[in-house]
Structures are given as structure tokens and as C-alpha cells.
Amino acid sequence: MIMSRTLYEWFAAAVDRHGGEPALEAGTDRLTYRQLSDLADRVAGELVAAHGAVPRRVGLLAERSVLAYAGYLAVQRLGSTVVPLNPSFPAARTTAVAFAGELDIVLVEGDTDAAAALPVPALPLTREATAPVAPLPAYAGDADAIAYILFTSGSTGAPKGVPIRHRNVSAYLDHIVPRYAMGPGSRASQTFDLTFDLSVFDMFASWGSGATLVVPGRDDLMAPARFVAAKELTHWFSVPSVVSVARRLRSLAPGSMPTLRWSLFCGEPLTLQQAEAWRAAAPGSRVENLYGPTELTISCTEYRLPADPADWPRPANGTVPIGTPYPGLEHVVLDPEGLPSEDGELCVRGAQRFPGYLDPANDAGRFVVYDGVRAQAFDGSGPVTDDLWYRTGDRVTRQHGQLVHLGRLDQQVKVRGYRVELGEIEAALRDQPGVRDALVVALPGADGESDLEAVCTGADPAPERLLAALRLRLPSYMVPRGVTVYDELPLNTNGKVDRKTVTAEIAAQYA
């Protein structure tokens, strides 16, 4: 049986084996494993001195920089819990997270409005020590302790804390590090902000194996092929929207990424068109589509596209399947009555499932008890035990042994009594000449029915031509009443398509 390790133990083992090898490249900075470890130790000593003891929870208000990564590792070195904070988020949200997370102290890089408003002490992250450095205690990490807490949007409007244990991440790394042949000589991208859990893959799949983490600048994400080629990357991981942006800017030429061996996508549906464009640009790379909510530790299912596009599956919604769950995870698909089904909500339990929300009040309704016959909702009155199944809120179906993601449960709408999958309409739009990306939203109509509106990007997505084409392909109740052309789809801070913003903008047109 594989023993669980803490995040710091994964890193420390690589330092011992590969101390002189490159661990991190960010801008003009190049740090070996030993140099990164020494910098993290210095920050850890400053933390102990500033707090007067080893802090329990530490906020990290910093972006992707050498100091940010050293700060992250410093918190892990102390056996504390790190809570990433995004400098671009409103100060009020950062303050709310600091309170909800019960932070002891916050590591801060640079001057921000959020830093000035922090309700707890702040320690500046600097290149040189600016505070006394305390001797470091012996490392005393615990695989059952919380490694990090991330805050996601809550249905009540308040941020919802998701704690992840070291053993959850260790189970994840035990699977993905060998799967993607990570090790010395591997050069992996780091495209995700630290408040996005997919960044943990980037950092610790690299630092747990002796690979090099290579950090792109903001402009590099507009031209990923140029960045990959210049830095000779072997592993790429991003949201699929990066592909769409690169296609729009015509910066994804065929054969332009010859060094890539692995290309991974997660965070939102990967369309077949996006996968085809990326594969053409990186013909020597294997392409995988991953899926997983924060609560299931980074990603929990995988699907590797066959080498020959002629063998690719073609689901009706035009997306790549999310595949099958990782080892150590169990899954069940449940219909609205709690019965097992081929089409319904995906529920998961196992080694990567989180231990329950930071605020136990959020646990009710998010788990089910399933006896193999019928599921019943967990009412939140007791502890979140290992036998409970996490409700992902995502609708899937099984096709040829693979799970296909059909969207959030709230993305299935009814129009004139018919069940409509917005993804199917989006796929039909993407098939039209001149269309690069498409999004369909449902708005409440004056008659109480849902009205469908489409948004498209591309070279020449003429609205009337698109609607005419849809009328030839779809039932009338699935044809949107209008198409709005965008230069590009808006993205949120994690790089995902911002469906809420699009919905609000289209609704405002009809207000």
C-alpha cells in the first residue's frame, strides 16, 4: 500500500534527489531545487518570528512569482495550511475570506488595496529578509492535516471554503505523476492562478518529481505556441479557452509546438474543435481531457484522445468525453429520484474526496448516502464520513464506457415543455462556417417560458445565416431567438468562459 505524503514531503524528496536541477523559471528568474528550498526556509523563519509561533493558517496574497511560490512552500514547511488570495479580487472579498478562513497572518507581495484592508497581520514577501528570522522547528507534517483551503462561489453569495487534506493530494499525485511521465527533464507550464486548484497540479506534479515549473506571463497565454516553443515545454495544462483565444489571434499554427509530449485540459468542456486545433499544433503530443471539482482534489476523471482523429468519439454536444474516474475513486450516476442511471448527476467518493466544507452548514444537500439501490440526501446533522458520496452537480451520460459531461444540472432547461441541452445547440453553432466559439443562455421570457439566446465569435458569424442553418438542423424550440456576435467570449479570473456575465449582458439588451 502506498503511504500518503504531505505536499512538503513530496517537495523535500525532490530536493534531496535533484537539488541542483532547475525547479522554477519565472521571467528572468531561474532557481534550482536547493535555491527554492532555501528561499522557502527563509520565508518560513520570518513567518514564525512575525507570528511568535508556528501559525495555523496563512493567507498568501500574491500572484505567480518566485516569492509567491516560496511563500506557498514556506507554509507547507511549517506544517501549516495555506489559503491563496488573489490580488486582483475586490478587497471586500479578500477580507471576507480572511475572516471565514480564520487566518493568523497573511504573506503579501506588493502593495494592494486588499492588503491595506486585511483584518489580520501582514508580512511582506521580499527578496531579502526584512524581519528577524526564527530558527525553524523540526518538520512535523501530518498527512491527515489540511494542506490548503480554497474558496469557491457559494449559493448564498458568501465564499465557501473547501479544505483539502494532504492525503487527498498525495493520492492524486501517486496517480498522475507516473501517468504523465513527470521527472527531471520535464518542463511543465503553470497557467493557473494560485486561487485555482489546478495550480496544485502544476506545482506539485513538477516539484514532486524533479521537473521544472515554467511560468508564462499574461501575454504568453495569448500566444501559447510561441511560449511553448521558446521554453521547450514538454507538458502543457490549461483551460480550453486558451485554445480559443490562440485561434482567434491566429497564433496556433500547425506543427508550432514540436516539443510537447503531453497536453492536458480541464476546468470547462473541451470541444472537439479545440482539441483538433491543438493536436495539429502539437502533433507529437498526447491530448487528455480532465474533469473534477475542487471538492474532489484538482481532477478526478481522464480521457485520452486516440492518436488518429478518425477514431475520436463524437458526442452529440461536440465535446471530448471526460472518461473514467481515477484509481481509488468510486462513482455512481443518479437520476433525480436517487436511482442509478445511465444519465444523471455524477456522485463520487474515495481517496480524493474532501472532508467537508469549512463551514459545516454548507454540507447539507451536497452529499448522499447510497446503499447500491437508492440514494438519500445527507442532511448535515452528523460528520462527513468516508462512506458519503459527493454530489458534483454535474450531469453526465455514459457512452461506450466513457462519461460524457452534459453541463451543470442547472444548464438543462425546458422550452415549451421540452428538455433542452444548451450544449447541443452550442455544438450545432460551432459546426457552422465562420464560427469559432458559441454559447447559448436561457432567459426568462415574458410568457413564463425560457427564451434562448446565442452568442458567437469568429471570422464571419452572420446571425441570420446561423439561425437559418440551425432551423435546418434543430427542432424549432431549440433555435435561439437571436444571435449576438462578440469579438471574444468574456473569461473569469480562472480563465473559464464567464457564462454569468454573458447572461447578464444579453438580458440587459432586452430589459
Are 409 and 395 in contact by the 8 Å Cβ rule? The answer is yes
Taking the C-alpha atoms of residue 257 and residue 395, their distance in angstroms, rounded to an integer, is 34
Q: Quote the crossing angle between the two packed helices 7-18 and 33-51, to the nearest 10°.
A: 140
**Region at 286 (left for phi over 0; alpha for psi -120 to 50; beta for the rest):** beta
408 has which bridge partners? 394
Yes or no: say if 357 and 325 are a contact pair by the CB < 8 Å rule. Answer: no
Residues 6+ apart with CB under 8 A from 112: 61, 87, 91
Sequence length of the chain is: 511
Domains 216-410 and 416-509 fall in the same CATH topology: no
* pLDDT tens track, the chain, 511 positions: 578 999 999 999 999 999 999 999 999 999 999 999 999 999 999 999 999 999 999 999 999 999 999 999 999 999 999 999 988 887 888 898 999 999 999 999 988 777 888 999 999 999 888 777 888 999 999 999 999 999 886 544 467 899 999 999 999 999 999 999 999 999 999 999 999 999 999 999 999 999 999 999 888 988 999 999 999 999 999 999 899 889 888 999 999 999 999 999 998 889 999 999 999 999 999 999 999 999 999 999 999 999 999 999 999 889 999 999 999 999 999 999 999 999 999 999 999 999 999 999 999 999 999 999 999 999 998 899 999 999 999 999 999 999 999 988 866 676 765 667 788 889 889 989 999 999 999 888 765 567 899 999 998 789 999 999 998 888 787 899 999 999 999 988 778 889 889 999 998 887 7
How far apart, in whole angstroms, are the C-alpha atoms of residue 246 and residue 221?
8
**pTM metric for this prediction:** 0.87
| CA atoms of 504 and 492, how far apart (whole Å) | 14
* Ranges assigned E (strand) in 182-285: 187-189, 212-215, 235-238, 262-265
Q: 3.40.50.2300, 1.20.120.160, 3.30.300.30, 3.90.1570.10: which CATH number matches 416-509?
A: 3.30.300.30
Query: Which residue ranges make up each domain of the chain?
Result: 216-410, 416-509
Of 373, 418, 407, the closest CA to residue 271 belongs to 407
Contact 291, 266 (CB under 8 A): yes
Q: Look-up: residue for cell 509530449?
A: 261
The interaxial angle of helices 422-430 and 463-473, nearest 10 deg, is 120
Q: What is 216-410's CATH number?
A: 3.40.50.12780
Query: Strand pairing of 57-61 and 105-108?
Result: parallel
Gyration radius of the chain's alpha carbons: 23
